[in-house]
Amino acid sequence: MTKLPSITKTQENIIQLIYRFRFLNRIQIQKLLKIKSVSKLNYYLKDLTEKEYLKRSHEDTFPNKLRPAVYHIGPNGIRFLRSQDNCEAEAIKNLYREDNRSSSFRDCCLLLADIYLGFENRQDKDVQSIMQMRSDYPAHPLKDILSDLKPSAYVAQKKSGKTKRSFLEILYDLPDQYLRQRIKQYLKFYRGSVWESETKTDFPTIMIVCPNDRVLAYVRHYVKTKLAQFDGSDLIIDLTTSDKVKEFGLTSDIWKKI
């Protein structure tokens, strides 16, 4: 097998980030790795792209021209990840079709990275937050549960000895039938009581981020209709939009409870 081109430890860390988040822009990579020098980071990224560890996408027309370039895994990046003990084969399989991912999928990945950074930089230092993406699920102690439901992320926030657990779901702007299907998956999972029996903890809050107000209004109405059919339900579902998450952050007062 042909030997992979040489790269630095920092560049290896960049590839590991792409493995975890799938799509990241230059600013997010800089913040996640706390790299102070923009020129050095640009060199690392250019080198990784030329050596086919990463692929770069950037639009040359306004207004998208002003946005930072977005990076995803390249063929040599996949070869590198396959040699790493901390990378799961199941997660790596999902990387082979990154070139064909929709813009909605890419935007979801970028939003998840922003949310993750928001947890890292939150002002309330008494809260310990853990956020895990789908690429983390194969190695998670609850991998069977998480891999079955496949929430966009699983979040645990611990403060004063108490832990608040949440499933984070980022919805696309899809036809109503697909939105209903996804909500039904969560409600079926809740009714099955698998989480409670396996973890001995309360069912997590479902935090749904909608792409716009239309989807939010539809999902809210549909969920209220379905919950009305449940007797004594203690399920908590919160809704907001991606614009509000981007502007104020996930932990701000942006949620509409059902």
25, 69 Cβ separation under 8 angstroms: yes
pTM of the model: 0.90
Q: Which run of H or of E encompasses 238? A: strand 237-241
Q: What number does CATH give the domain 9-101?
A: 1.10.10.10
**Domain 107-257 falls under CATH 3.40.1350:** yes
What backbone torsions phi and psi does residue 216 show, to the nearest 5 degrees? Answer: -60, -45
d(CA 66, CA 137): 34
Distance between CA atoms of 112 and 23, rounded to whole angstroms? 10
Which tokens belong to 114?
């922003």
Enter the tokens of residue 167.
């499933």
Longest dimension (CA), the chain: 62
Q: Identify whether the C-beta of residue 76 lies closer than 8 Å to the C-beta of residue 4.
A: yes
Nearest to 242 by CA among 186, 152, 172: 172
Reduced 3-state DSSP string for 53-83: CEEEECCCCCCHHHCCCEEEECHHHHHHHHC
Structure tokens at 134: 């789908």
pLDDT tens digits in sequence order for the chain, 258 residues long: 678 999 999 999 999 999 999 999 999 999 999 999 999 999 999 999 999 999 999 766 656 667 899 999 999 999 999 999 989 888 899 999 999 999 999 999 999 999 999 988 876 778 888 999 999 998 888 988 998 999 999 999 998 889 999 999 999 999 999 999 999 999 999 999 999 999 999 999 999 999 999 999 999 999 999 998 887 678 999 999 999 999 998 888 999 998
Residue 153: C-alpha distances to residues 28, 68, 113, 137 (Å):
18, 24, 11, 9
Q: Domain residues of the chain, as ranges?
A: 9-101, 107-257
- Tokens 């929430």 -> residue: 151
Count of CB atoms situated within 10 Å of the CB of 142: 15
Name which of 1, 169, 18 is nearest 91 in CA terms. Answer: 18
